[in-house]
Each structure stands twice: as C-alpha cells, then as structure tokens.
Structure 1
Amino acid sequence: MRQNPSFAMTDVGEIRRLIDRHPWVTVISQTADGLVASHYAIMLDDTRDDLTIVGHVGKPDDAIHGLGEREMLVVVQGPHGYVTPRWYGDVPAVPTWNFVSAHLSGIPELLSPEENLRVLERLVDRFEGDDHDARSLYRLPNDASFVERLERGTVGFRLTPTRVAAKRKLSQNKTPEVVETIIAGLSREGGTHAELAVEMRRAADARPRA
C-alpha cells in the first residue's frame, strides 16, 4: 500500500481499534503457483497490547498458504466510500475514495490444539454476543467430541506483524469547511457511508486547531 505522510496511521491504539471493529480480513500468501487469497475472521491477541492477531484457517487452506512457513499478508479493510467532487464546491476537483485500511505482514506461528480451541471459543463468544439465546462452543451437553472434530478441521495461528502499513484517507488535505460538507453528505447517504462519516468526524475532531 503506497503510503502518504498526510494519511499515514501510526498510532497502535487506532490500528487496534480498526482490527477490533473490522475482524473479517483477507489473507494473502505467495505460493509456487502464484498468489492465493482467503477470507477469515481474526481477533487481537488478548494476552498482548500490540498488533498481534490470532485466528484460524480451515484445512486444507493451511497447506495452500504454507501457513507458518512463509510470509503472510493480512489486509484489514475499514469503512470506505465514494466522495463526489460536488462536495468540494464550485472548484475544479476530481472524485476520490476515502477509506481506512491496514496491512499486517509476517510469518505466522501455528497454535497448539489447546490454543486453537481457545481462539475458536473466543471467536464464537465474540460474535454470538450477549443475547439470551447466544450459543457458545460448548453449549450442549456431551459436545466435547463435536468440538474436538471441529478443532481438528482447522489450524490456528498467531501473527505478530514484522511490517505494518496503515492508512486513514479521510480528506485530511481539505479545509475544515469542505470536510464538514463531506461528512454531512456521507451521513445523508447512510448505510456504510454513515460509518465512514463517523471516522471522518473522529479524524476532524483530532485535527490540530489553527
């Protein structure tokens, strides 16, 4: 990802927030047959306070990716959306796309079956939430054999990235007045654009005042 100092996101806390809010990622590896990509949910490692992530892949994706043997790129995609030049006013301007994204690269460590089970439990608990009928991995009696079969069909990993490129392109190069107009336009469009508007508001509020 080409970096621009105006849009670089270097704060570990902000990147962790991005990962936590957008756990569905793209996993990319270079293989003898070319690039291969898969899509999985990941989480921050709850024993660390850095950018270490944990997750799992289903077999045989571990073999396809050469998991644990070669570098892997994890692409985290946050909110994004089209920005029309209409929002810049009556001036020469081109359309663009605002977004928040991070690339985490490194050679992952394979988890033991016990560690993988813990990651699977955390994933299920995270996305089931607190509803009264939420179903944990071990919800039903005598589920141990089922869960063991589930674990054997997956391979867990932990990735402490050796390279991180994170970017938050949220019209930081525009005047505060234009930024407010873009935020208002995205908010009116709603849907996924509303989340992008929230991210632009956070960036605008953190902007140094003249």
Structure 2
Amino acid sequence: MRYNPKFVLGDLTEMRRIVDENPFATMISDTPDGLVASHYAMMLDPERDDLTIVAHVGRPDERLHGLGERELLVIFAGPHGYISPSWYGDGTQVPTWNYSAVHLAGVPVLLSDAENLRALDRLVQHFERHNPEPRLMWEPPNDPAAIEQLATGTVGFRLTPTRVSAKRKMSQNKPADLVERVIAELQGDGPFAHPQLAAEMRRVHPAAGE
C-alpha cells in the first residue's frame, strides 16, 4: 500500500483485532505463470502473540500458489465504505472511501497432516463458538474417520510475516466537526449507512469526554 503517515496503522493489538474480526482473506502469489489470487478464512495462530496466521487451502491450490516455495501476500480488509461529499456541507469536496486493511507477506511453512487437522479443528471452533448449538469437528454425528479423510483434501500452512503493511483511513485528514458529521451519516439510515464503519471511525476519533 502507498505510504501515508496520516493513515498508518502501527499498533499490533489493533492489527490483530482487524485480522481476528475479518478472517476472510485474499492471498496473492507471483508465480511463473503470473499472479494468482485465492480467498480463504484464516486465523491468528493461538499459540503466538504476533501476526502469525494459520490457514488451509483446498487441493490443488497449494500447487497453484507454490506454497512454501515463494513469498505469499495475505490481505485482510476491515470495515470500509463510501463517504459522500454531500456530508461535508458547503465547500469543494470530493468523494472518498474509508477503510482499514492489513497486509502480511512472507514465505509460508506447510503443516504436517496432524498439524493441519488441529488447525482445522481450531478454525471450526473459532467460528462455531458463536453458534448456540455448535457443530464441532470431532463430535457426533461426525465420523472421525470421515473427517480425517476429508482433511486430506486440504493443505495447511503457517505464515509468520516478514513484511507488514497496515492502513486505517478514517477521515484523519478532516476537522473534528466533519468527522462527527461523517460518523452520524454512517450511523443513520441513508443509502451509504454503515454502522460497522462508524464504529471503526469512533475507535480512531473518540467522542468528546470519552
């Protein structure tokens, strides 16, 4: 991403939060046959406190990307949305897009079959914990043998990034009164309402007295 000091996100805790809350990522590889992109759910490695991620791909995507052979770029996109110039009132203004994103790049390490199974189990638990009646991998009516067989169709990997780029563009270049107006519009019921983006903006711009 283009560097802009106004929008740089360097806080590790916030980067981890964005990754955790927006797990459906885009992975990009520069292969001998050209650029390749895929989309998969990924999660932070629960055994680490950095930006190491654990994920899996369905075969033959591991060959398509050359996993373990070259650098992989993984992009996590947080809340984002259109910001109308009409929200700014009088004066010359242009439309823009507010967003947050975390880019992680590095050479992934392939997981063993046993590690891949544990990673798949954790991924299922990660999402099913929100379900009032969670459906977990190793619990009935699932057959453990069938689960292990299905898992052979996937390849797990761990990526500890050697390059990190993160940006959070949330109207930091606007005066406080305009920021409040944008947040109010995003919290409203107009065509571009986006309460999640409004909440993300509020993290960057705490209300007076907070």
TM value normalised by structure 2: 0.94
The corresponding residue for 2:198 is: 197
User: Relative to structure 1, is the Cα distance of residues 172 and 111 closer, same or farther in structure 2, using a 3 angstrom cutoff?
Assistant: same
Aligned equivalents of 2:142, 2:103: Cα separation in 1: 41
**Within 1, Cα distance between the matches of 2:150 and 2:193?**
33
1:30 matched to 2:30? The reply is yes
Residue identity matched to 2:117: L
Deviation at 1:196, TM superposition (A): 0.4
Distance of aligned partners of 1:184 and 1:141 in 2 relative to their CA distance in 1, 3 Å threshold: closer
Residues 141 and 80 (structure 1 numbering): CA distance in 2 closer, same or farther, change over 3 Å? closer
Q: Which amino acid is the alignment partner of residue 125 of structure 1?
A: Q
Q: Structure 1: which 5+ residue stretches go unaligned? A: none
2-structure distance, mates of 1:150, 1:192 = 41
SS of 2:140's partner is coil
Deviation sequence 1:121-171 (CA, Å, 0-9, x none): 011111122534211001226722111112211110000001111000000
Deviation at 1:36, TM superposition (A): 0.6
1:75 alignment partner in structure 2:
75
Mapped to 1, the partners of 2:77 and 2:131 lie a distance apart of: 27
The 1-side partners of 2:140 and 2:193 are apart by: 36
1:15: which partner in 2?
15
Counterpart-to-counterpart distance in 2, 1:195 and 1:142: 36
Q: For the Cα contact (< 8 Å) 2:185–2:193, is it kept in 1?
A: no
Alignment RMSD: 1.8
- 1:155, 1:206 → 2: CA distance? 46
- The answer to whether the 8 Å contact 2:187/2:193 transfers is no
Contact 1:80 1:192 in 2 (8 A): no
Q: Distance in 2 between matches of 1:135 and 1:112?
A: 24
Alignment match, 2:124: 124
Question: How far off its partner does 1:34 sit?
Answer: 0.6
1:29–1:71 CA contact under 8 A, matched in 2: yes
Separation in structure 2 between the aligned mates of residue 206 and residue 66 of structure 1, nearest angstrom: 47
Look up the match of 2:95.
95
Q: Secondary structure at the match of 1:205?
A: coil
